[in-house]
Amino acid sequence: MIAAIWIFTLLGVALWSLLCWGLHALLAVDPNWIHDVDALIREVPFAAWIGQWVPGWHEMLNVAMDLTSIVLSWVGTNAPLVAWIVWTVGALALFGLGMSLTLIVCLLRESRASPVSDLHAVDIPPGGHGARLRGHP
C-alpha cells in the first residue's frame, strides 16, 4: 500500500513538473502579439449591433488589451521565478499528501496488528467443558 502511495505521488510530481514546464514556456512568449489583436478588434463583425447592447465595448476591450500586455510583459520577464514558485508549492503539497497518507496507513496497520492479551483469550474445548486461559495448564 505504501509503495502504491509513493508511486502515485511521484507520478503526480512528474505530471506537475511537466505542467509547470508548459506554464514557463507559455509565460515566456513575447507579449507583442497582443498588438496584433488591435487590428482584429477594429474588424469585428456586427460592431454596431454589439455597441447597442454593450455601450463602450470597444474602449473596454482596448483597455483590457493594454492591461493584458502590461501583465504579460511583467510575467514574461519573471516567468522562471513564477514557474519555480508554482512548482515548489505544488510539489510540497504532493509530497505532504504522500507523507500524510503513509502515516495514516502506518497508524492503521499498528492499530490492527496489536495483539490481544493472552489473559483475555479463552480456549474452549470441543465439548464445551473445562475452559481454561491460554498459556496456563
Rounded mean pLDDT of the chain? 81
Using DSSP's 3-state secondary structure scheme, residue 134 falls into: coil
Asked whether the predicted pLDDT for residue 88 surpasses 90, the reply is yes
Q: Which residue has the cell 505542467?
A: 19
Domain ranges of the chain: 2-108
- The pLDDT tens digits for 46-74 are 878 888 888 888 888 888 888 888 887 78
Distance, CA of 58 to CA of 41 (rounded, Å)? 8
Judged on CB neighbours under 10 Å (0-12, 13-18, 19+), 16 is middle
The region of weakest confidence among 19-23, 56-60, 98-102, 104-108 is 56-60
pTM of the predicted structure, to 2 decimals: 0.56
Judged on CB neighbours under 10 Å (0-12, 13-18, 19+), 37 is middle
Asked whether the predicted pLDDT for residue 113 surpasses 70, the reply is no
